[in-house]
Amino acid sequence: MPVCDLAVSSVRELNQALHRLSPDTNETAWEIDNPQGKHAIGVGINVPVEIDIKGHVGYYCAGMNKHASVRIHGNAGTGVAENMMSGTVHVMGDASQSAGATGCGGLLIIDGDASARCGISMKGIDILVKGSIGSMSAFMAQAGNLVVLGNAGEALGDSIYEATIFVRGQVKSLGADCIEKPMTDEDRERLAGLLGRAGLDDAKVDDFRMYGSARELYHFHVDNAASY
């Protein structure tokens, strides 16, 4: 197993080594030690490797990830897994703001809490937060699913498009054009699948409430001026 000690090597050296991997590499399991909160660790990975980061990371860890499975054994700074395309990123601690921002695919799991703007402008990513999320989460969320086992802060799902939000706890307030919706069997099945992928088979689907777009702001209209 390749081991990269960031107390010795630079982030540049690590990322370069990861970018040089071919899709059929046999170096499929990596360990990164002493991340020390450094930024841009493991960004732009394009191969199906498994990476364990043993500690806290700074901004944008695993940004634009494709194919890789990244486990962060600690907390993550701003924009973890931002614009992820596919693969899995698992934060075993808390995540700062804008977790999973603009993500297009893949699964982001956060064992702890996530700060403000979690899932902002998400475009197909699935995000599962075992704790709570901060304000303005899923702002302008376009596609994908945001699952929260704890509570959600103010203005959840403001100006949301076609993404879906599931919350088990309390929602402080909903943003413009975001409403609670009845869950269909298809929604329940999707939620159960996401919970299962995060190892939460015991969680009960019916404990969650579902939110999405009222689609009333999809066309600019003067009668909605108070919402803009």
Partner 1 sequence: MSANSPRTTPRVSATFDPYTISEIQRAAATGIYDIRGGGSKRRLPHFDDLLFLGASMSRYPLEGYREKCGTNVVLGSRFAKKPIELKIPVTIAGMSFGSLSGAAKEALGRGATLAGTSTTTGDGGMTEEERGHSQTLIYQYLPSRYGMNPDDLRRADAIEIVIGQGAKPGGGGMLLGQKISERVGKMRTLPAGIDQRSASRHPDWTGPDDLEIKIEELREITDWEKPIYVKIGASRPYYDTALAVKAGADVIVIDGMQGGTAATQEVFIEHVGIPTLAAIRPAVEALQELGMHRKVQLIVSGGIRNGADIAKALALGADAVAIGTAALIALGDNSPTLEKEYEALGTHAGAYDDWHEGRDPAGITTQDPELARRLDPMLAGRRLANYLSVLTLETQTIARACGKSHIHNLEPEDLVALTVEAAAIARVPLVGTDWIPGQRY
Task: Single out the segment in contact with partner 1 by CB under 8 A; choices: 27-35, 49-57, 134-142, 204-212.
Answer: 134-142
Residue closer to partner 1 by CB (options 28, 142) is 142
Q: Beta 209-213 vs 178-181: how paired, if at all?
A: antiparallel
Instruction: Report d(CA 162, CA 51) in Å as an integer.
Output: 32
* Under rule CB under 8 A, residue 115 binds partner 1: no
Q: What is the per-residue DSSP string for 80-134?
A: TTTT--SSEEEESS-B-TTTTTT--SSEEEESS-B-TTTTTT-EEEEEEESS-B-
Residue 139 or 211: the one with the smaller Cβ distance to partner 1 is 139
Query: How many chain residues interact with partner 1 (CB under 8 A)?
Result: 42
Helix-strand-coil split of the chain, %, nearest 5: 15, 25, 60
Q: Does 86 bind partner 1 (CB under 8 A)?
A: no
Closest to partner 1 by CB, 141 vs 149, is 141
Euclidean distance between CA atoms 68 and 121, whole angstroms: 22
Contact between 44 and partner 1 per CB under 8 A: yes
Q: Would you state the structure tokens that stand for residue 71, as one six-digit string?
A: 């486990």
Contact positions toward partner 1, by CB under 8 A? 11-12, 15-16, 19, 39-40, 43-44, 46, 58-60, 63-64, 66, 78-79, 82-83, 85, 97-98, 101-102, 104, 117, 120-121, 123-124, 139-140, 142-143, 159, 161-162, 218-220, 222
